[in-house]
């Protein structure tokens, strides 16, 4: 009934109904389910015993839905957002072998964002309000041509070309902030790399607007539709309005994201004006701790253990493999869009195109 009212697809409802009947008819499975569902609703991410995992974890996720929907109602969020958010579960329940295969769901941790941390799907994108978390300090110039200036925090180990990784010929960042001076390693706005040299600025010319602890609206990009720029701009605009109206106490400072989609290296493999590049261009890029290509391997190269053995099926796979064979590297990249009147007008301008 609940899933029908949320517009779940009939085959998924049948799968969950069948699982619920199976659990109800097996005393041991029922006890296990009730224990795990209690822990889930109380806020933890329980591990299902081996063997029962994909059978009951989707049902456990749904057991958290009344709590999630009550939290949405308490914030007076529009029903359309609750429905879209709840339906994300369907993207993660899979049934391989063109509908004849076994139902699988192994993403309870991800659904924890929805049930426990108020992730919201607003139009094309999903948002979750959390500390920004990246080791940078972002300044906005009071009046200057270079409006945004980003310094790395002190003590970060960087490679010689400014990525966040250890290397024998790398460097460690320093950062000094006094009432007169800001001095540190600036971030290149075209790539996210951290400069080896330090730069000094007059502190009175800049306002600190974002740091690791600031609240940001972290952006997630669901699969299933093209990443059209106009849809994204609309989603950012609507999210801004929703958080302003329904979470007025949240002093959020920026939209943030960490994704393979923000990697400037990837752009060399994409057609001009691709959706991915246009989306990535909205963000100021930042080198990411960890600095690896795991996400790209999973999302583009099908999680293959060895890319050298993969036969490419799509133009992007072909271009990415060629780039790897040429010795280039990909890196998951973080980024932000500041919450300023200028960024809002830039997003509105995207909507007018």
Ligand X SMILES: CC(C)(COP(=O)(O)OP(=O)(O)OC[C@H]1O[C@@H](n2cnc3c(N)ncnc32)[C@H](O)[C@@H]1OP(=O)(O)O)[C@@H](O)C(=O)NCCC(=O)NCCS
Which residue of 3, 150, 221, 232 would you call a contact of ligand X, by CB under 6 A? 221
For residues 8, 230, 214, 186, the Cα torsion angle rounded to the nearest 10 degrees is 140
**Which pair of structure tokens corresponds to residue 310?**
């993969």
**Residue 271 engages ligand X in binding (rule: CB under 6 A):** yes
Q: Which is nearer to ligand X, 201 or 232 (CB)?
A: 232
Which residue of 29, 41, 83, 270 would you call a contact of ligand X, by CB under 6 A? 270
- CA–CA gap between residue 55 and residue 278 (Å, rounded): 40
Sites for ligand X among residues 314-353 (CB under 6 A): 314-317
Sequence-distant (6+) residues with CB within 8 A of 233 are: 347, 348, 350, 351
- CA–CA gap between residue 158 and residue 62 (Å, rounded): 43
**Residue 22 engages ligand X in binding (rule: CB under 6 A):** no
Residue written as tokens 């993403």?
Answer: 107
Sites for ligand X among residues 234-263 (CB under 6 A): 259, 261
DSSP string, 131-159: E--SSEEEEEESS-SS-EEEEEPTT-EE-
Task: Work out how close the CB of 110 gets to ligand X at its nearest, in angstroms, rounded to a whole number.
Answer: 11
Residue window 290-309: x/- pattern of binding to ligand X, with contact defined by CB under 6 A:
-----x---xx---------
Identify each DSSP E strand in 156-220 by its residue range.
Answer: 157-158, 171-172, 175-177, 181-184, 199-202, 206-211, 215-220
Q: Which is nearer to ligand X, 143 or 314 (CB)?
A: 314
Q: Are 151 and 185 in contact (CB under 8 A)?
A: yes
- Applying CB under 6 A, which part among 70-78, 139-147, 197-205, 273-281 lies near ligand X? 273-281
Task: Work out how close the CB of 223 gets to ligand X at its nearest, in angstroms, rounded to a whole number.
Answer: 4
Count interface residues toward ligand X (CB under 6 A).
Answer: 18
**Residue 310 engages ligand X in binding (rule: CB under 6 A):** no
For residues 43, 49, 55, 57, the Cα torsion angle rounded to the nearest 10 degrees is 10
Task: Work out how close the CB of 20 gets to ligand X at its nearest, in angstroms, rounded to a whole number.
Answer: 30
Binding-site ranges for ligand X (CB under 6 A): 221, 223, 226-227, 259, 261, 270-271, 274-276, 295, 299-300, 314-317
């Amino acid at each position: 009934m609940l899933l029908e009212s949320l517009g779940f697809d009939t085959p998924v409802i049948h799968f969950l109904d069948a699982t619920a009947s199976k659990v109800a008819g097996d005393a041991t499975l029922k006890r296990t389910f009730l224990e795990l569902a209690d822990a889930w609703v109380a806020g933890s991410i329980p591990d299902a015993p081996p063997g029962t995992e994909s059978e009951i974890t989707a049902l456990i996720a749904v057991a958290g839905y009344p709590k999630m929907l009550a939290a949405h109602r308490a914030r007076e969020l529009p029903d359309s957002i609750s429905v879209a958010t709840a339906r994300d579960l369907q993207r993660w329940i899979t049934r391989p072998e063109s509908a004849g295969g076994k139902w699988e769901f192994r993403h309870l941790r991800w659904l924890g964002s929805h049930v426990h941390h108020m992730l919201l799907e607003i139009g094309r994108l999903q948002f979750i309000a959390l500390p920004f978390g990246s080791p940078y300090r972002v300044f906005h110039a009071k009046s200057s041509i270079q409006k945004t200036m980003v310094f790395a925090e002190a003590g970060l180990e960087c490679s010689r070309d400014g990525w966040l990784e250890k290397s024998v010929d790398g460097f460690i960042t320093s950062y000094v902030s006094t009432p007169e001076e800001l001095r540190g390693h600036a971030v290149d706005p075209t790539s996210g790399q951290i400069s080896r040299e330090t730069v000094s600025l007059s502190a009175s010319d800049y306002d600190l607007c974002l740091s690791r602890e600031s609240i940001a609206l972290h952006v997630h990009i669901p699969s299933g539709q093209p990443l059209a720029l106009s849809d994204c701009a609309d989603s950012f605009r609507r999210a801004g309005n929703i958080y302003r109206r329904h979470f007025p106490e949240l002093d959020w400072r920026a939209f943030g994201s960490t994704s393979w989609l923000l990697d400037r290296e990837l752009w060399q493999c994409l057609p001009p004006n691709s959706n991915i590049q246009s989306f990535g261009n909205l963000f100021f890029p930042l080198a990411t701790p960890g600095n690896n290509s795991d996400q790209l391997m999973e999302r583009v190269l099908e999680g293959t253990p060895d890319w050298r053995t993969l036969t490419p099926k799509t133009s992007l796979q072909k271009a990415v493999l060629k780039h790897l064979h040429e010795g280039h590297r990909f890196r998951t990249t973080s980024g932000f869009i500041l919450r300023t009147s200028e960024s809002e007008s830039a997003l509105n301008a995207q909507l007018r195109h």
